[in-house]
Structure 1
Amino acid sequence: MSLDTELDLEKLNKDLGKLSPKKIIEWALSIAKKAVVTTNFRPYEGAILQAVSSVKNDVEVIWCDTGYNTPQTYKHAETLIDSLGLNIQLYVPKQTVAYRNVTLGLPSIDDPKHVLFTEQVKLEPFKRAMKIHKPDVWFTNLRKGQTAFRDSIDIVSKSNDGTLKVSPFYNWSDEDLDGYLVENKIPNEFKYFDPTKVESNRECGLHI
């Protein structure tokens, strides 16, 4: 099987649902010409980063840093980058936070300017990164139960541009991941802030 052939996503997800995250990752890498992992170092991101890097340690890890992360998140990111030897590819907005504070501020999600804010700090850097790296397989840590949209996908789905999106821990709960992190001695960090979402059950638009 390869990405050059049409995939039966329904059957594929049924089959992959019987496998461990590691086996799902191995399968995805076997058909990929270029795979990437995306991360924002939010809680539980250590699981997907460790799982993918343990199978292939040079996979490019795209980090789109909004510039609004907490000090704890930045320290957590450095810890994971160093301990896992991640091949980090860092992308940041074209505008600095200081400049945006003067010209746009930090608009609430009800403010019409929030659309532009989200485009600047998250969507544009992400689209730029994907255009440069051109992956055909994209590993994420999306999980069922996070948002209504994420409940509608599965372990494997396709993004609008045809990239195969693979979420090896899709059916795992927080408790499952807690155990995985402890077993693999991976730190976690909960002091995280996403200025484009604010509410944890809200999509920013990156995955839709």
Structure 2
Amino acid sequence: MSESIELLSEAQEVSAAFEHLKAGERIAWLYEKYGSRVVLSSSFGLQAAVMLSLVKEHAPEMPIVWLDTGYLFPETYRYAEQLIDKLDLNVTVYQPQITPARQEALYGKLWEQGEKGHSKYGLINKVEPMARALKELQADVWVSGVRRSQSSTRKGRNFAEQQKKTLKVYPILDWADPQVSAYFYDKKLPKHPLEAEGYQTMGDWHSTNPVVEGQDAESSRFGGQKYECGLHLDSGNADFQI
């Protein structure tokens, strides 16, 4: 009598392996398995130093992609330079093909144009540059510092998921805020300067605000209309198969 064998998908295999590993071990395992197919993306936001430090320690040859929208806070640009210098990172910067000035001349302020404007903004400034980065670096495994505790849209995520043709992997998905804080302390990592001003999440200057009393982190992005920029959701755009 033959037994049916259910084969695990690639995402299921990674998720199963991660369940029994610590974050650093997950990153080392991932790079050993996939090698040059893996890239880490970073926004140099409030908690970006954690993944940058883990990758530097456990998979120093992994390429790091910085998506620079051109609309980041001045403090973010300075913070990025500080981390790059401190951790001795090899970072490749990817920017939109259309400059901020040209975008605003052609389309106006997309972030003020509701969901349709937000979607177009995300495609131009984040989705297309990331798709280009993956193509040019010949990578199809994308590592990110997404965590379940960051937002309601991330609570149900697995350690790995297939997004079109790219395998997306989240080595610190199960980390709670205290664990992040402890890592910063143990590794003596500098904090993003805007954290001290009440920011609990970080994105572009026009769509991120400090958290005020009675508000949560999710409502401090995009005027409370949404949290995700489109980079960690399926954009539905067939031109950018990431």
Task: Name the TM-score class by shorter chain.
Answer: 0.7 to 0.9
Kept in 2, the 8 Å contact 1:91–1:126? The answer is: yes
Match of 2:227 in 1: 202
1:176 matched to 2:179? The reply is yes
Specify the structure having the higher radius of gyration (Cα).
Answer: 2
**Aligned twin of 2:139:** 135
Q: Do the aligned partners of 1:37 and 1:59 also contact (CA within 8 Å) in 2?
A: yes
Following superposition, the deviation at residue 13 of structure 1 comes to 2.7
The farther-off stretch of 177-186 and 8-17 is 8-17
Alignment-derived partner of residue 114 in structure 1: 118
Q: 1:63-107: per-residue Cα shift (whole Å, max 9, x none)?
A: 110001111101110011111111111111112212223222323
Please, which moves more after superposition, 34-43 or 187-196?
Answer: 187-196
Once residues 79 and 103 of structure 1 are traced to their aligned partners in structure 2, the CA distance between those partners, rounded to angstroms, is 34
Partner of 2:164: 160
Q: Which amino acid aligns with 1:112?
A: K
SS at match of 2:149: coil
Q: 1:125 maps to which residue?
A: 129
Task: Give the alignment of 1:54-65 within 5 angstroms.
Answer: 54-65=57-68
Q: Which protein has the bigger helix share? A: 2
SS in 2 for 1:89: strand
Query: What root-mean-square deviation, in Å, do the aligned CA atoms of Structure 1 and Structure 2 show?
Result: 2.3
Contact in 2 for aligned 1:38/1:61 (Cα 8 Å): yes
Give the conservation status (yes or no) of the 8 Å contact 2:79–2:193. Answer: no
1:29 aligns with 2:31: yes
Contact 2:147–2:175 (CA under 8 A) maintained in structure 1: yes
Q: Which amino acid aligns with 1:158?
A: Q
Number of residue pairs matched by the alignment: 203
1:13 aligns with 2:15: yes
Helix, strand or coil at the partner of 2:114: coil
SS of residue matched to 2:173: coil
Q: Indicate conservation of the 8 Å contact 2:25/2:58, yes or no.
A: no
CA distance in 1, matches of 2:132, 2:13: 33
Is 1:193 aligned to residue 196 of structure 2? no
TM-superposed deviation, 1:164: 2.7
Which letter maps to 1:63? W
Q: Residue 32 of structure 1: SS of its match in structure 2?
A: helix
After TM superposition, give the deviation of residue 12 of structure 1 in Å. Answer: 4.8
Structure-1 separation of matches of 2:10 and 2:157:
14
Unaligned runs of 5+ in 1: none
Mean Cα displacement is larger for which, 19-28 or 99-108? Answer: 99-108
Query: Which residue among 57, 70, 89 is the counterpart of 1:67?
Result: 70
Q: Does structure 2 retain, via aligned residues, the 8 Å contact 1:104–1:117?
A: no
1:134 CA displacement? 2.2
Q: Which structure is higher in RCO with an 8 Å CA cutoff and minimum separation 6?
A: 1
Identity of matched residues, %: 28
3-state SS of paired residue (1:74): helix
Give the distance between the partners of 2:88 and 2:154, measured in 1 at CA.
29
Residue aligning to 2:3: none
For residue 136 of structure 1, report the CA deviation from its aligned partner.
3.3
Residue 95 of structure 1 aligns to a residue whose secondary structure is coil
CA separation of 1:113 and 1:165: change in aligned 2, threshold 3 A: closer
Pick which of 129-138 and 68-77 moved more. Answer: 129-138
| Native 8 Å contact 2:140 2:167 kept in 1 | yes
Q: So what's the TM-score if we normalise by structure 1?
A: 0.86
